[in-house]
Amino acid sequence: MRAARQRLALEPSPAARMLATLVLAITVVISLAPFFYVVSTSLKETKSLFSYPPRWIPDPVYLGNYLALFEKHPFGWWLGNTLAISAIVTGLKLVIDGMAAYALAKLDFSGKHAIVTALLISVAVPLAALLIPLFLITRSMGLIDTRLALILPPLANPLGVFMIRAFIAALPDELIHSARMDGAGEFEILRRVVVPLIRPGLVVHATFIFATQYTTFLWPLVAVHDLKKQVITVGISSLRAIFTVDWGLISAASLVAAAPLTIIFILFQQAFFQQSLAGALKE
Amino acid sequence: MEAATSPSHMTEEEHRRQRFWAAARHNLTAYIFLAPILIFFVVFMALPVVWLFYLSFQHDGILAPAQFAGLDNWRRTFSDGLVVKCIGNTLYYCVLAIPTVFVLGMIVALSLQGVRRGAALLRILIYFPTLQASLIVALIWTFMIHPDFGLLALSIRALTGVKVNFLGDPHFAMPTIAMIEVWKGLGFWSILFLSGLLALPSDLYHAAELDGAGSIRRFFSLTLPLMKPTFYFGVIFATIVNLQLFDSVFVLTDGGPVNSTATIAWYIYRSLFTFSDPGFGATLSFLLVIVVLALTALQTWLMRERTP
């Protein structure tokens, strides 16, 4: 933030400032207009969508699309499954990544270099490419069509280990040495000393995992076929598979699906942008 | 620790044994911490990659029992018309989307840089599309481009009288998907570029201003060169992500019309469920893994060059 303020010592000219304001105004309008149009669509009956010229403001306001989601389709299940699976993956991932990150940042052991290399390489493995073997492995474990199939494979993603390792590596070694001198075990040090100090970073990481999980599509599409066990992205896309597409229904579904992540993002946006703007590249 | 408290009259042998057990205990603790990630890593990451390679030498395996295929799949990869088209479409999409989102993202980042009031709110609003699932974004855009009720389609119709069919025309379908993905990605890239801009050394800019360099000059001879590491990172990261384009294709066009939006990831998905030919899909997947790993190696090398 201080760096940002210093930069502004170099004042942009009034013309540049006007241009920037114009660019931002256009960007905001373009970014948000589709959402507003979908809100209006979701409050109309589907057949009235096809009238030309279109009516922008729905009159009368029609709530049938929202009701149908819960009455005629397992939308409640999809929402619940997605929230539960995302929360479980986030919780497990924080523990798994935190433990591994602590070992890699502050413990000495043989084979460290090999493990770091293997995990680092796998950060780059494109998940779409693993679709076929993941499906075959999950099937041989008898997990196809279970929610467990949606929870376990994402736990292998090693990206978080490196993010948390960077937070832990920044803590002074003396802190951990003195805790050891006081007779604390490594688990206790991680839980009582390290975690409280890296909490802001963990919160950002948690929102990141949650968002990734909430928006995932390809793997659930492949791993689960029972609609009641499905997540929200695949569930909504299944609404399209019906012969004549009920666009009003789809607009309502998209908006309800977008709401939870939006709320979570607004709650944590300050920490999120602080982390992002502090330089994602600095490692 | 052990060695420090041990009496000095211990024999060499005893010292060695003690050191051995201390090291073993350290290793054990570390591996207990690493065990969970390693187990998941082996089962759901390392094993699948090895399995891909193995599958690439097989036919069938989903409905019929698997058979050894030799190099058939590998030979077919570069001669199968649809696969070549998928690779071409994916690269075409990358060429459309990445430069566009970079130029627009840079323009938005430069505009955001000078904002004094309301920066936090602006960032949230601009980041809003990035936040949403690709699938939701694709569906929301249906309401912009649908020929009968799409906001954008209707606006174009009202202004020019032309009824545009964005997804129905093989020439327009992929550019339309690229446009949607650019819309979604703009928030991410703006924030990434903004973080790059904020990290630039401000004294250089003051020096340049004292030397009489105008703002356009400063942009081309200072900002762009200094942002090189961010661009290197960005181009390769974007390529890796975009080579896996699937969600919006699946929901908007399912590869059509006339396979004009069929992508590599779409083909991999289809090879499993429609074509029942996982061996061939695995070959394409393995190729994708190799390409992405090579790009990542290039990225690491370029970044290391910059920051010794």
Percent of chain A with pLDDT over 70: 90
B209 contacts A217? CB cut-off 8 A: no
A140 in B contact zone (CB under 8 Å) = no
Model pLDDT, residue A23:
94
- Average pLDDT over every residue of A186-203: 91
Range of weakest confidence among A29-33, A235-239, B129-133, B301-305: B301-305
- Average pLDDT over every residue of A70-74: 91
Q: CB–CB of B288/A129 below 8 Å? A: yes
* Helix H or strand E segment including B59: strand B58-59
- Mean pLDDT over the full length of chain A: 87
Confidence band of A150 (pLDDT split at 50, 70, 90): very high
Q: Please state, as a whole number, how many other Cβ atoms lie within 10 Å of the Cβ of residue B157.
A: 16
- The span from the CA of A133 to the CA of A188, in Å, is 38
What per-residue string of b and e applies to B177-191 under the rule 16 or more CB within 10 Å gives b?
Answer: bbbbbbbbbbbbbbb
Tens of pLDDT along B269-303? 998 888 778 888 999 999 999 999 998 888 888 87
* Helix H or strand E segment including B58: strand B58-59
Which residues in A lie closer than 8 A to residue B107 (C-beta atoms)? Answer: 23
Which residues in B lie closer than 8 A to residue A132 (C-beta atoms)? Answer: 52, 55, 268, 271-272, 278, 281-282, 285
Model pLDDT, residue B18:
84
Confidence band of B59 (pLDDT split at 50, 70, 90): confident
Type of residue at A48: S
Place of tokens 């979908």: A38
Tens of pLDDT along B193-236? 999 898 888 888 888 888 887 778 888 888 899 898 888 889 98
Model pLDDT, residue B16:
86
Tell me how many residue pairs between chain A and chain B have CB atoms under 8 A apart: 316
Of A208, A194, A192, give the one whose Cα is nearest residue A275.
A208
Tens of pLDDT along B233-263? 899 889 989 999 999 999 999 988 999 999 9
Model pLDDT, residue B300:
80
Our separate counts of H helices and E strands in chain A read 15, 0
Res. A12: pLDDT tops 80: no
A126 contacts B243? CB cut-off 8 A: yes
Res. B95: pLDDT tops 80: yes
B131 vs A9, A49, A265: nearest CB: A265
Helix axes B264-273, B81-113, angle to 10 degrees: 130
Confidence band of A282 (pLDDT split at 50, 70, 90): very low
A276 in B contact zone (CB under 8 Å) = yes
Tens of pLDDT along B164-173? 889 989 999 9
Q: Please state, as a whole number, how many other Cβ atoms lie within 10 Å of the Cβ of residue A259.
A: 11
A38 vs B140, B148, B281: nearest CB: B140
Peptide bond preceding B65 in cis form (omega within 30 of 0):
no
Alpha-carbon torsion (A87, A88, A89, A91), positive or negative: positive
Res. A146: pLDDT tops 50: yes
Comparing B270 with A274, the larger pLDDT belongs to: B270
What per-residue string of b and e applies to B231-264 under the rule 16 or more CB within 10 Å gives b?
Answer: ebbbbbebbbbbbbbbbbbbbbbebebebbbbbb
- Closest-CA residue of chain A to B280: A132
Model pLDDT, residue A225:
92
A9 in B contact zone (CB under 8 Å) = yes
Range of weakest confidence among A39-43, B18-22, B242-246: B18-22
Confidence band of B61 (pLDDT split at 50, 70, 90): low
- The span from the CA of A129 to the CA of B76, in Å, is 18
**Which residues does A190 contact at the CB level (< 8 Å), separation at least 6?**
A98, A99, A102, B33
Token pair belonging to A40: 């209006």
Q: How many residues does chain B have?
A: 308
Alpha-carbon torsion (A30, A34, A35, A37), positive or negative: positive
Q: CB–CB of B69/B59 below 8 Å? A: yes
Is pTM beyond 0.90? Reply is no
Give me the phi and psi of B10, to 5 degrees please: -65, 150
Task: Quote the minimal CA–CA distance from B134 to chain A in Å.
Answer: 7
In order of their start, the domains of chain A are 2-64 (no CATH), 73-277 (1.10.3720.10)
- The span from the CA of B40 to the CA of B26, in Å, is 22
Task: Quote the minimal CA–CA distance from B218 to chain A in Å.
Answer: 12
Model pLDDT, residue A197:
92
Tens of pLDDT along A134-144? 999 999 999 99
Among B111-115, B137-141, B209-213, B303-307, the range with the most confident prediction by mean pLDDT is B137-141
Range of weakest confidence among A1-15, A89-103, A111-125, A226-240: A1-15
A32 vs B128, B131, B194: nearest CB: B128
